[in-house]
Structure 1
Amino acid sequence: MTRVLILATDGFEQSELMKPKANLEDAGIETTVASLEDGEITGWNDKNWGDKVSVDITVDEVEVGDYDALLLPGGQINPDILRMNERAVAIVRGFDMANKPIAAICHAPWMLVEADIVKGKTVTSWPSVRTDLANAGANVVDQEVAEDGNLITSRNPDDIPAFSKALISRLGGEMKKAA
């Protein structure tokens, strides 16, 4: 079975975790949510705290070899917290070194900058992250999905159907209907 690791913490953009997760699972792909601590993490929905999601494993328990791809949901708070955690950044680097797909949406490409894996790559993100990407040596574009090597990036929640389709396709699956 194909397995995707979803790395997130409190403040993840609710739609950017929930919808790709549902799309992956509808395509028969298993998902595992990893976070900094056990228990639950809380999403950010519009201008308020959103739904809780159960954490399956902590970052300390993650073995990159157990997964086929990495999904990084955005939200302003989530990647800003994660990029301060050495183990979370090491996980991103590990997926990159193994040349496994890394799908990052909205503010999540901050994790790609922190892991130092965007130099020379064509990527996209939420507008406020684009200067950071460019300063890290990336070729920044404004399009629904940018795919370069093992990186798949998108700009915002409106891009979720195309973002999910790109990741599922990369894993050899087919998207049923977009959540």
Structure 2
Amino acid sequence: MKNLNGHRIAILATDGFEQSELQVPLKQLKDAGAEVHVVSLEAGEIKGWDEDDWGDSVAVDKTLDQANSGEYDALVLPGGQINPDLLRVEEKAIKFIQAFDQEAKPIAAICHAPWLLIEAGLADGRMLTSYPSIRTDLTNAGAEVVDTAVVTDRNLITSRNPGDLDAFCDAIAEAVTKTPAQAA
């Protein structure tokens, strides 16, 4: 993975995130030198979902009220069924995602997280991938849906499932190194 020293990345999540889809990017991006913040609706901790039961908790670094897209070089959206479904009805979350798009910064969504791209109005006319159960939703939102490990269409990066995490993280690092680092 490319060196991400000096880069800042936000991971937007809430309770019910797919455990590996938050923890693997968090670890890989930090290991590559990025400063990574978990951003959520409320302060404290959020609890993951691991296969068929609740998983581990992760500390929240900033709330949406404290976070500003201008402080970050990229946004990561973990999946799981619960997490994106809860976030897509939160206006602050959608506005946060839209801000990254307006700034042409990378937005990486995996599994069910492309639901958030639909809600933010970013799917139309884009080539995307996702977990199989939401592909019809993406198609109905105007996306061209493909079945590959990772798809990059301009600033949007999408992957299908936890099996794609290495390719997903590599694509994030590649995109982040093409954008200037944000001042802290």
TM-score normalised according to structure 2 size? 0.93
Q: Which of 109, 114, 117 is the matching residue for 2:114?
A: 109
Q: CA deviation at 1:141?
A: 0.4
Distance 2:18 2:177 in 1: 26
Q: Which secondary structure state, in structure 2, belongs to the residue aligned with residue 38 of structure 1?
A: coil
Question: Where does 1:24-63 land on structure 2 (aligned, <5 Å)?
Answer: 24-63=29-68
1:93 aligned to which of 82, 86, 98: 98
In the other structure, the counterpart of 1:23 is 28
Distance, in Å, in 1 between the alignment partners of 2:113 and 2:87 is 9
Matched with 1:83 is 88
Q: Structure 2 residue aligned with 1:70, among 47, 69, 75?
A: 75
Aligned length: 173
Supply the distance in 2 between the matched residues of 1:102 and 1:13 (Cα, whole angstroms).
Answer: 17
Q: Give the aligned CA root-mean-square deviation in angstroms.
A: 0.8
Unaligned 5+ residue runs, structure 1? 174-179
Q: Matches of 1:134 and 1:43 in 2, distance apart?
A: 28
Specify the alignment match of 2:153 in structure 1.
148
Please tell me the residue identity of whatever aligns with 1:25. Answer: K
Partner Cα distance (2:67, 2:57) in 1: 21
Which of 124, 129, 132 is equivalent to 1:124?
129
Give CA-to-partner distance per residue, 1:60-92, whole Å, 9 cap, x none: 111110000000000000000000100000011
Post-superposition shift, 1:172? Answer: 1.8
Letter of the 1:131 counterpart: T
Report runs of 4+ in structure 1 exceeding 2 Å deviation: none
TM-score w.r.t. structure 1 length?
0.95
Q: Which stretch shifts more, 90-99 or 164-173?
A: 164-173
User: Which amino acid in structure 2 is aligned with residue 41 of structure 1?
Assistant: I
What CA deviation, in whole Å up to 9, does each residue of 1:86-139 have, x standing for no partner? 000001100001000000000000000000011110000001111111111100
